[in-house]
Amino acid sequence: MYARFPLSSNWDELDRLQREMNRLFDDVYPARHSAGGYPAVNLWVGEDVQIVTAELPGIGLDDLEINVLGASLTISGERSADDLPEDAEIHRRERLFGKFSRTIELPYPVEAGKVEASLEKGLLTIHLPRAEADKPKKIKVKTN
């Protein structure tokens, strides 16, 4: 699921090509990628921190719950539907409402006490620092 190859420009190029191919196929088989669940997430992985973002328009922090256990991140919440005037006639209804919950397996375990989340302009950003115990240890080599 995660691209964990070394980040050289050759891989970037292959990755770009793969994305282009996916886009081509998406047009032909639109249902192919919808299994991911709601909300859709993007992930950026650095050496000591991983950042997850999701689009959650119309949701307040009170409507949202974020849980971390080891390398598992769960985002759950509820978006309530708008109150409408009684005589409103519906022309178009595309926005998504209701309860959602999604668990994502991250590349490495998280230092749960240091997780920071912000919700701005309908965008959720979660900073998930790498667990201390999981960080690679540097071993000093002594010379005699």
Task: Show the binding pattern over residues 41-70: x = contacts another protein (CB under 8 A), - = does not.
Answer: xxxxx----x--xxxxxxxx----------
Q: Are 126 and 73 in contact (CB under 8 A)?
A: yes
92 CB-side CA count, 13 A: 2
> Is the Cβ of residue 121 or residue 142 nearer to another protein in the bound state?
121
Decide if residue 92 touches another protein (CB under 8 A). yes
How far apart are CB 84 and another protein at their closest, in Å? 6
Give the up-direction half-sphere exposure of residue 56: CA atoms within 13 A in the CB hemisphere.
33
Piece of 66-74, 78-86, 109-117, 133-141 that binds another protein (CB under 8 A): 78-86
One of 8, 28, 29, 31 touching another protein (CB under 8 A):
31
- Sort 127 into a burial class: Cβ within 10 Å, 0-12 / 13-18 / 19+: middle
**How far is C-alpha 78 from the chain's CA centre?**
17
| Binding window for another protein (CB under 8 A); candidates: 35-43, 68-76, 110-118, 131-139 | 35-43
**What is the rounded CA–CA span in Å between residue 93 and residue 19?**
30
Give the residues lining the site for another protein (CB under 8 A).
1-4, 7, 12, 15, 19, 30-31, 33-34, 36-45, 50, 53-60, 82, 84-85, 87-100, 107, 119, 121-123
